[in-house]
Amino acid sequence: MFIPGKIIKTFKTKKGREIIIRYPKWEDLDEFLRYINQLSKEDTFVTFSGEIISKEEEGRVLANWFLAMEMGNKVVLGCFDKEKLIGLANVDRDLSARTRKKHIGVLGISVEDNYRSQGIGFELAKTIIEEIKNKIKGIKMIVLDVFGPNKKAISLYKKLGFEVYGVLEKGLLYKGKYISDVEIVKYL
């Protein structure tokens, strides 16, 4: 069962800030909206590249997340500095091939720019990997696509035990150039 706002863990960053890792709740909507629009504007190694998300769109996204979590097909965890959202991770069951890929989880993760390189991404990723073992039944592996030049993320995932299983050269369009799409997996 999905419990909105449930705290999973608190930890201190390398700079000594106390961070809470918890499930989202409806009252976080404005924070999610601020966070996603800031990340999109940054135009970094994520799928958003400057699109502006409206409150209505983000509200629908949040509502769909809550339903998917209730159905055992998704986990979303946020990192909060008090009430400020500063990191976000999600794992989604792959339902793209009906039941054929339902043992596969797809990971997404980001940390707000001025909170990066303080150990938050690592703590958040480690926590969500543990959490999905109970919440997304039958999950056997986690996969994701990393932008080739995203050395920071690749080194984070290697530290977590992910391995590269494929590279699609020129598979992603990033700031006007075609770059490699690195496919990685961690078996659970």
Ligand X SMILES: CC(C)(COP(=O)(O)OP(=O)(O)OC[C@H]1O[C@@H](n2cnc3c(N)ncnc32)[C@H](O)[C@@H]1OP(=O)(O)O)[C@@H](O)C(=O)NCCC(=O)NCCS
Q: Which residues bind ligand X (CB under 6 A)?
A: 44-46, 109-111, 116-122, 144, 146, 150, 152-153, 155-156, 159
Q: Nearer Cβ to ligand X, position 68 or 184?
A: 184
Q: Nearer Cβ to ligand X, position 49 or 117?
A: 117
Span between the terminal Cα atoms of the chain, in Å: 22
Q: How far is the CB of 158 from ligand X (least distance, A)?
A: 8
Which residue's CB atom is positioned nearest to ligand X? 121
Q: Please give the C-alpha separations between residue 125 and each of 4, 87, 119, in angstroms, as whole numbers.
A: 19, 10, 10
Q: How far is the CB of 44 from ligand X (least distance, A)?
A: 5
Burial bucket for residue 142 (CB in 10 Å: 0-12, 13-18, 19+): buried
Q: CA 140, CA 86: separation in Å to the nearest integer?
A: 29
Which amino acid appears at position 92 of this protein?
Answer: D
Q: Nearer Cβ to ligand X, position 73 or 90?
A: 90
Q: Nearer Cβ to ligand X, position 13 or 59?
A: 13
Q: Nearer Cβ to ligand X, position 140 or 152?
A: 152
Kindly give the residue spans of alpha helices, DSSP state H, lying in the chain.
29-42, 55-70, 120-135, 151-159
Q: Please give the C-alpha separations between residue 14 and each of 19, 34, 121, 157, in angstroms, as whole numbers.
A: 11, 25, 12, 19
Q: How far is the CB of 3 from ligand X (least distance, A)?
A: 25
Q: How far is the CB of 107 from ligand X (least distance, A)?
A: 8
Q: How far is the CB of 116 from ligand X (least distance, A)?
A: 3
The token pair at 26 is 């409806």
